[in-house]
Structure 1
Amino acid sequence: MSVRFITGNLADEPEVQQAGRVQIVKLTVLENTATRRGDEWVPGHKPLRHDVEAKFELGENVAATLHKGDAVVIVGAERDASFDGNEGTVYRRVIDASHVGVDLVNATAVVTRNAKSD
Protein backbone atom coordinates (compact mmCIF):
# COMPACT_ATOMS: atom_id res chain seq x y z
CA MET A 1 0.00 0.00 0.00
CA SER A 2 1.26 3.47 -0.82
CA VAL A 3 0.11 6.84 0.49
CA ARG A 4 -1.30 9.12 -2.20
CA PHE A 5 -1.90 12.86 -2.28
CA ILE A 6 -4.26 14.06 -5.01
CA THR A 7 -6.15 17.20 -5.94
CA GLY A 8 -9.13 17.39 -8.26
CA ASN A 9 -12.85 17.95 -8.56
CA LEU A 10 -15.73 15.70 -7.54
CA ALA A 11 -17.26 14.12 -10.65
CA ASP A 12 -20.51 13.25 -8.86
CA GLU A 13 -22.30 13.77 -5.57
CA PRO A 14 -20.76 11.71 -2.73
CA GLU A 15 -22.41 8.27 -2.58
CA VAL A 16 -23.27 7.01 0.91
CA GLN A 17 -23.33 3.22 1.37
CA GLN A 18 -23.83 1.05 4.41
CA ALA A 19 -21.51 -1.96 4.84
CA GLY A 20 -22.76 -3.73 7.94
CA ARG A 21 -22.34 -1.23 10.77
CA VAL A 22 -19.89 0.94 8.84
CA GLN A 23 -20.96 3.86 6.66
CA ILE A 24 -18.74 4.31 3.59
CA VAL A 25 -18.83 7.42 1.44
CA LYS A 26 -17.58 6.89 -2.11
CA LEU A 27 -16.17 9.71 -4.20
CA THR A 28 -14.99 9.99 -7.78
CA VAL A 29 -12.27 12.63 -8.09
CA LEU A 30 -11.13 13.87 -11.50
CA GLU A 31 -7.56 15.16 -11.55
CA ASN A 32 -6.60 17.67 -14.27
CA THR A 33 -3.48 16.58 -16.15
CA ALA A 34 -2.78 19.94 -17.83
CA THR A 35 0.36 21.83 -16.78
CA ARG A 36 1.05 25.52 -16.60
CA ARG A 37 4.00 26.78 -18.67
CA GLY A 38 4.55 30.49 -18.14
CA ASP A 39 1.27 32.26 -18.84
CA GLU A 40 -0.51 29.42 -20.61
CA TRP A 41 -1.91 25.97 -19.92
CA VAL A 42 -0.53 23.04 -21.87
CA PRO A 43 -3.26 20.42 -22.33
CA GLY A 44 -2.65 17.01 -20.83
CA HIS A 45 -4.39 13.75 -21.46
CA LYS A 46 -7.97 13.33 -20.34
CA PRO A 47 -8.47 13.82 -16.57
CA LEU A 48 -7.34 10.99 -14.30
CA ARG A 49 -10.20 9.27 -12.46
CA HIS A 50 -9.62 8.32 -8.82
CA ASP A 51 -11.99 6.19 -6.73
CA VAL A 52 -11.92 7.34 -3.09
CA GLU A 53 -13.61 5.94 0.02
CA ALA A 54 -14.04 7.74 3.35
CA LYS A 55 -15.31 5.96 6.46
CA PHE A 56 -16.65 6.77 9.93
CA GLU A 57 -16.68 10.45 11.01
CA LEU A 58 -14.62 11.52 7.99
CA GLY A 59 -17.19 9.98 5.65
CA GLU A 60 -20.09 11.62 7.50
CA ASN A 61 -18.41 15.02 7.26
CA VAL A 62 -17.60 14.52 3.57
CA ALA A 63 -21.21 13.59 2.78
CA ALA A 64 -22.52 16.62 4.69
CA THR A 65 -20.05 19.08 3.15
CA LEU A 66 -18.99 18.25 -0.40
CA HIS A 67 -20.92 18.33 -3.66
CA LYS A 68 -20.38 17.58 -7.35
CA GLY A 69 -17.81 19.95 -8.85
CA ASP A 70 -16.14 20.89 -5.55
CA ALA A 71 -12.34 21.11 -5.65
CA VAL A 72 -10.78 18.77 -3.08
CA VAL A 73 -7.46 17.64 -1.63
CA ILE A 74 -7.27 13.94 -0.70
CA VAL A 75 -4.65 12.04 1.31
CA GLY A 76 -4.92 8.30 1.82
CA ALA A 77 -3.59 4.80 1.34
CA GLU A 78 -4.05 3.30 -2.11
CA ARG A 79 -5.13 -0.34 -2.37
CA ASP A 80 -6.29 -2.87 -4.95
CA ALA A 81 -9.97 -3.78 -5.16
CA SER A 82 -11.92 -6.16 -7.38
CA PHE A 83 -15.52 -7.08 -8.09
CA ASP A 84 -17.42 -9.32 -10.49
CA GLY A 85 -18.60 -7.41 -13.56
CA ASN A 86 -20.58 -8.38 -16.65
CA GLU A 87 -17.43 -9.56 -18.41
CA GLY A 88 -15.60 -11.15 -15.49
CA THR A 89 -13.57 -9.78 -12.62
CA VAL A 90 -12.89 -6.03 -12.69
CA TYR A 91 -9.79 -4.68 -10.94
CA ARG A 92 -9.30 -1.10 -9.81
CA ARG A 93 -7.31 1.07 -7.40
CA VAL A 94 -9.05 2.76 -4.45
CA ILE A 95 -7.74 5.47 -2.14
CA ASP A 96 -8.85 4.94 1.48
CA ALA A 97 -8.98 8.58 2.56
CA SER A 98 -7.39 9.54 5.87
CA HIS A 99 -7.80 13.27 5.15
CA VAL A 100 -10.18 15.18 2.86
CA GLY A 101 -10.17 18.94 2.46
CA VAL A 102 -11.55 21.66 0.26
CA ASP A 103 -8.98 23.06 -2.19
CA LEU A 104 -8.94 26.81 -1.53
CA VAL A 105 -7.06 27.81 -4.70
CA ASN A 106 -10.28 29.04 -6.34
CA ALA A 107 -12.79 28.96 -3.47
CA THR A 108 -13.40 30.05 0.11
CA ALA A 109 -14.82 27.95 2.91
CA VAL A 110 -16.42 28.38 6.31
CA VAL A 111 -15.26 25.81 8.87
CA THR A 112 -17.71 24.53 11.48
CA ARG A 113 -16.25 22.27 14.16
CA ASN A 114 -18.25 19.23 15.22
CA ALA A 115 -19.25 19.06 18.88
CA LYS A 116 -17.01 16.70 20.84
CA SER A 117 -18.74 13.69 22.35
CA ASP A 118 -18.02 12.89 26.00
Structure 2
Amino acid sequence: RCQGKLLAYTATNNECPSEPPKEGDLIVNPGFPPSIPCDYALVVSSGQLVELNIEFLEANECCDYLEIFEGPIASMNHLMEIRTGTDTGIITTKTSNVMTVTWVPGGAVDVRGFKMTFKGIDP
Protein backbone atom coordinates (compact mmCIF):
# COMPACT_ATOMS: atom_id res chain seq x y z
CA ARG A 1 0.00 0.00 0.00
CA CYS A 2 1.41 3.34 -1.08
CA GLN A 3 0.46 6.48 0.75
CA GLY A 4 1.20 9.89 -0.69
CA LYS A 5 0.10 13.36 0.31
CA LEU A 6 -3.45 12.86 -0.90
CA LEU A 7 -3.28 9.34 -2.22
CA ALA A 8 -3.58 5.81 -0.95
CA TYR A 9 -3.54 3.22 -3.71
CA THR A 10 -3.23 -0.53 -3.99
CA ALA A 11 -3.52 -2.33 -7.33
CA THR A 12 -5.88 -5.27 -7.25
CA ASN A 13 -4.60 -6.97 -10.41
CA ASN A 14 -1.40 -9.00 -10.31
CA GLU A 15 -0.87 -9.21 -14.08
CA CYS A 16 0.12 -6.88 -16.91
CA PRO A 17 -2.77 -5.01 -18.50
CA SER A 18 -4.19 -6.61 -21.66
CA GLU A 19 -5.08 -3.20 -23.15
CA PRO A 20 -2.76 -0.20 -23.52
CA PRO A 21 -3.37 2.55 -20.97
CA LYS A 22 -5.17 5.72 -22.05
CA GLU A 23 -4.00 9.30 -21.59
CA GLY A 24 -4.47 10.37 -17.98
CA ASP A 25 -4.80 6.81 -16.60
CA LEU A 26 -2.90 6.11 -13.39
CA ILE A 27 -0.40 3.40 -14.32
CA VAL A 28 1.22 1.30 -11.59
CA ASN A 29 3.21 -1.90 -11.73
CA PRO A 30 0.94 -4.96 -11.46
CA GLY A 31 0.13 -5.92 -7.90
CA PHE A 32 1.44 -2.56 -6.65
CA PRO A 33 3.40 -2.87 -4.38
CA PRO A 34 4.63 -6.40 -5.37
CA SER A 35 6.53 -6.42 -8.66
CA ILE A 36 5.79 -8.21 -11.91
CA PRO A 37 7.69 -7.32 -15.14
CA CYS A 38 5.58 -5.49 -17.69
CA ASP A 39 5.70 -3.47 -20.93
CA TYR A 40 3.46 -0.43 -21.44
CA ALA A 41 2.78 1.08 -24.88
CA LEU A 42 1.87 4.73 -24.37
CA VAL A 43 0.21 6.09 -27.51
CA VAL A 44 -1.13 9.61 -28.15
CA SER A 45 -2.67 11.21 -31.24
CA SER A 46 -0.65 11.36 -34.45
CA GLY A 47 1.39 14.57 -34.60
CA GLN A 48 1.75 14.80 -30.82
CA LEU A 49 4.60 13.81 -28.52
CA VAL A 50 4.24 11.62 -25.43
CA GLU A 51 4.84 13.35 -22.10
CA LEU A 52 5.39 10.80 -19.32
CA ASN A 53 5.13 11.90 -15.69
CA ILE A 54 6.77 9.42 -13.32
CA GLU A 55 5.13 10.44 -10.06
CA PHE A 56 6.70 7.79 -7.86
CA LEU A 57 9.47 5.20 -8.09
CA GLU A 58 10.78 3.01 -5.33
CA ALA A 59 13.22 0.39 -6.57
CA ASN A 60 16.33 -1.47 -5.50
CA GLU A 61 18.95 0.51 -7.39
CA CYS A 62 20.97 -2.63 -8.07
CA CYS A 63 18.25 -4.66 -9.68
CA ASP A 64 14.95 -2.89 -10.45
CA TYR A 65 14.41 -0.22 -13.07
CA LEU A 66 12.15 1.44 -15.61
CA GLU A 67 13.42 1.46 -19.18
CA ILE A 68 12.04 4.20 -21.42
CA PHE A 69 11.99 3.89 -25.22
CA GLU A 70 10.78 6.17 -27.99
CA GLY A 71 8.57 4.38 -30.50
CA PRO A 72 6.73 1.05 -30.61
CA ILE A 73 8.45 -2.18 -29.57
CA ALA A 74 9.28 -3.18 -33.17
CA SER A 75 11.31 -0.01 -33.86
CA MET A 76 12.08 1.64 -30.54
CA ASN A 77 15.05 3.82 -29.58
CA HIS A 78 16.37 3.75 -26.01
CA LEU A 79 15.81 7.05 -24.18
CA MET A 80 16.83 6.24 -20.60
CA GLU A 81 16.91 3.83 -17.69
CA ILE A 82 15.62 4.98 -14.31
CA ARG A 83 16.72 3.21 -11.12
CA THR A 84 16.01 5.71 -8.34
CA GLY A 85 13.18 7.93 -7.22
CA THR A 86 15.43 10.97 -7.56
CA ASP A 87 15.30 10.49 -11.36
CA THR A 88 11.52 10.78 -11.54
CA GLY A 89 9.72 13.59 -13.29
CA ILE A 90 8.74 14.46 -16.86
CA ILE A 91 10.15 12.59 -19.87
CA THR A 92 9.08 13.48 -23.41
CA THR A 93 9.56 11.72 -26.73
CA LYS A 94 11.53 13.70 -29.31
CA THR A 95 9.65 12.81 -32.50
CA SER A 96 7.22 9.93 -31.90
CA ASN A 97 3.64 9.69 -30.67
CA VAL A 98 4.53 6.33 -29.07
CA MET A 99 6.60 5.63 -25.96
CA THR A 100 7.30 2.17 -24.58
CA VAL A 101 7.96 1.82 -20.86
CA THR A 102 9.32 -1.44 -19.48
CA TRP A 103 9.29 -2.27 -15.75
CA VAL A 104 12.14 -4.67 -14.96
CA PRO A 105 11.98 -5.90 -11.34
CA GLY A 106 15.20 -7.81 -10.73
CA GLY A 107 14.83 -8.24 -7.00
CA ALA A 108 12.13 -5.88 -5.82
CA VAL A 109 12.55 -6.77 -2.17
CA ASP A 110 10.52 -4.45 0.05
CA VAL A 111 9.95 -1.88 -2.70
CA ARG A 112 6.69 -0.50 -4.00
CA GLY A 113 7.55 -0.05 -7.68
CA PHE A 114 6.23 2.89 -9.70
CA LYS A 115 3.29 5.15 -10.43
CA MET A 116 3.01 7.23 -13.61
CA THR A 117 0.67 9.03 -16.01
CA PHE A 118 1.08 10.29 -19.56
CA LYS A 119 -0.51 12.70 -22.01
CA GLY A 120 -0.08 14.01 -25.53
CA ILE A 121 1.53 17.39 -26.08
CA ASP A 122 2.09 19.48 -29.20
CA PRO A 123 5.69 19.57 -30.48
TM-score after normalising by structure 1: 0.25
> Higher relative CO (CA 8 A, sep ≥ 6), structure 1 or 2?
2
Larger strand proportion of the pair: 1
Q: Work out which of the two has the higher radius of gyration on C-alpha atoms and give 1 or 2.
A: 1
